[in-house]
Amino acid sequence: MKQRTLAIIKPDAVAKGVAGKIMARIEEGGFTILAAKLIHMTDAQARGFYIVHKDKPFYASLCSFMTQGPCIPMVLEGDNAIARWRDLMGATNPANAAAGTIRKDFASSIEANAVHGSDAPETAAFEIPYFFASLEIHPR
């Protein structure tokens, strides 16, 4: 089943200069990138995006981290895209991520973990339009 998910190459990965390598892995993984852009989130934008975590102890530091530099949100499409993208990303904590996953290879901590991905269809339905207008997404 074709599915869409949001992916973000986070500020740590952009700063390290590995965004191109991550995008290549995405394409090699059989995903189609339908939309992508380089942005620098404001604090208000980060807080709105991560509102689901507002009551968690890491919320403020996550928002601060996501505003420290540019990031690259993308819309990915593919069969079972949400689960497959999460598999390719690897565990949230790179110390627990499987060999060959993006987080194992490019992340440096549980917070500076290189990439984000929607965790469910309902999450993707909120996250994709948070960053992209329908006219910005290639119709494929």
Instruction: Clarify whether 116 is annotated catalytic.
Output: yes
Residue 60 DSSP SS3: helix
CA 71 – CA 55 distance, rounded (Å): 24
Residue of 40, 53, 116, 138 with catalytic role: 116
Residue 13 DSSP SS3: helix
CA angle 50-53-38, nearest 5°? 20
67, 40 contact by CB (below 8 A): yes
- Residues annotated as catalytic (active site), given as ranges: 116
